[in-house]
Amino acid sequence: MKRLALIVAAAAFGIAASAASAKDWKTVRIGVEGAYPPFSETTPSGDLKGFDIDIALALCEQMKVQCELVKQDWDGIIPALMAKKYDAIIASMSITPERKKKVNFTGKYYNTPAKFIAREGVDWEDTNEGLKGKVVGVQRATIHQDYMEKVFPDVDLKLYGTQDEVYLDLAAGRIDAAMADSVAMLEGFLKTENGKGFAFFGSDHSDPAIHGEGAGIAIRKEDDDLRAMFNDAIKAIRANGTYDKIAKQYFDFNVYGS
């Protein structure tokens, strides 16, 4: 009977501890990339800015927690979450079946399609046959790498650590084209001085099996209470106008999607 009592007491303590931890998020550390304008970029002075950054801060304010932003290279962004370097990822990470094997996601906070860009005037078709032999740059370890490898196997694919590195080689003529999120390329390259003479070609590309359901916030599977907090906060800033106020600073269209 004593053993049973101890087990029951331990179980009760575990439930109480779990309930307490669900309310114990006073500070939330958020992993961000800082190299994916206009969603996330690092200023010359070292500050972080962008749509992802503003959304992260707004969500923390809504949840009434202190926000700590932790800059992390994209290649290691999920491993660093699992190693508890931070508690969540807000870095334009698409919600995909493959990533769901490792982490949980909130609902989306935006959804935009992928596209190709190249020098203005190219008459290439955005098909595997139309781009056969062309050198196309994408950021490594992204859905765009997965999509290119699956749908464009005859393309000469070149991988980069950051999207900015893709733009540099495209502008220098070291690659023929690039694929990434259409908004990221429009705002982060085509509208800049370096993007003059370049343009989109082909149609939107969006395969739910690869591109997922939009960009969401990644959370460790054991932190479902934090995921619920973020989901509630996303709904709240969408309802109270904060989301639209932030979005209008960056986009002249509905970045949230349908």
pLDDT digits (tens, 9 = 90+) for 185-196: 999 999 999 999
Tell me the residue range of the domain where 135 lies.
Answer: 114-211
Residue 174 lies in a domain: yes
Average pLDDT, the chain: 91
How buried is 79 (Cβ within 10 angstroms: 0-12 exposed, 13-18 middle, 19+ buried)? exposed
pLDDT of 4 above 50 = no
Tell me, yes or no, whether 132 and 66 share the same domain. Answer: no
**What is the CB neighbour count within 10 angstroms for residue 168?**
16
Q: For residue 258, tell me if it sits in a domain.
A: no
Q: Are residues 140 and 225 in the same domain?
A: no
- What is the model's pLDDT at position 23? 52
Cα dihedral across residues 114, 109, 162, 188: positive or negative: positive
φ/ψ of 231, rounded to 5, equals: -60, -45
- Claim to verify: residue 97 and residue 223 sit in the same structural domain: yes
pLDDT at 5: 35
H helix or E strand, kind and range, residue 31: strand 27-32
164: CB partners within 8 A, 6+ apart: 35, 188
Per the domain annotation, does 11 fall within a domain? no
Q: What is the pLDDT of residues 78-120, one digit of tens each?
A: 999 999 999 999 999 999 999 999 999 999 999 999 999 999 9
pLDDT at 257: 87
Q: Count up the domains in the chain and report the number.
A: 2
Residue 19: per-residue pLDDT = 39
Same domain, 106 and 134: no
Pairing between strand 135-139 and 177-181? parallel
Does a structural domain hold residue 83?
A: yes
Q: Which helix (H) or strand (E) holds 216?
A: strand 215-219
Element (H, E) at 11: helix 2-21
**CA dist., res. 128 & res. 153, Å (int):** 7
Token representation of residue 62: 């809504």
Q: Do 145 and 118 lie in a common domain?
A: yes
- Is 2 contained in some domain? no
- On whether both 201 and 120 belong to a single domain, the answer is yes
Residues 122 and 84 reside in one and the same domain: no
Residues 101 and 87 in one domain: yes
pLDDT digits (tens, 9 = 90+) for 134-178: 999 999 999 999 999 999 999 999 999 999 999 999 999 999 999
User: Is the residue at 33 inside a domain?
Assistant: yes
Report the CATH number that the domain containing residue 72 is assigned in CATH: 3.40.190.10
The answer to the question of residue 241 being in a domain is yes
Q: Residues 32, 98: one domain?
A: yes
